Amino acid sequence: MPIGDDKPPLDAGSKVWGLFKSPFRTSHVTTLSSSHQTEGSNVHRKTGNPSSSSSISLSSVVRSLIPTRRRLRLDPRSKLYFPHEPGKQVQSAIKIKNTSKSHVAFKFQTTAPKSCFMRPPGAILTPGESIVATVFKFVEPPENNEKLIDRKKKVKFKIMSLKVKGVMDYVPELFDEQKDLVTVEQILQVVFLDIARPSPALEKLKRQIAEAETALETRKKPPQDTGPKVIGDGLVIDEWKERRERYLARQQVEGEDSV
The average pLDDT across 134-147 equals: 80
Average per-residue pLDDT for the chain? 75
The average pLDDT across 216-229 equals: 70
The continuous run of DSSP H or E covering 164 comes out as strand 156-164
**Which residue would you say has higher pLDDT here, 224 or 79?**
79
Inform me whether the pLDDT recorded for 256 exceeds 80: no
- Would you state the pLDDT for residue 225? 60
- Would you state the pLDDT for residue 144? 67
3-class DSSP assignment, residue 74: strand
The average pLDDT across 85-97 equals: 94
Q: Using 50, 70 and 90 to split pLDDT, how confident is the model at 44?
A: very low
The average pLDDT across 36-53 equals: 49
Min mean pLDDT across 2-16, 107-121, 164-178, 200-214 is at 2-16
165-189 pLDDT tens trace? 988 999 989 999 998 999 999 999 9
The average pLDDT across 69-94 equals: 93
Inform me whether the pLDDT recorded for 149 exceeds 50: yes
3-class DSSP assignment, residue 126: coil
- Would you state the pLDDT for residue 198? 92
- Would you state the pLDDT for residue 141? 82
Strand order in the sheet with 89-98: 72-75, 89-98, 130-138, 116-119
The average pLDDT across 103-115 equals: 92
Inform me whether the pLDDT recorded for 158 exceeds 80: yes
**Which residue would you say has higher pLDDT here, 10 or 248?**
248
User: How distant, in Å, are the alpha carbons of 125, 138, 187 from that of 163?
Assistant: 10, 32, 19
Contact predicate 156/193, CB 8 Å: no
**CA gap 259, 254 in Å, rounded:** 9
The average pLDDT across 12-41 equals: 47
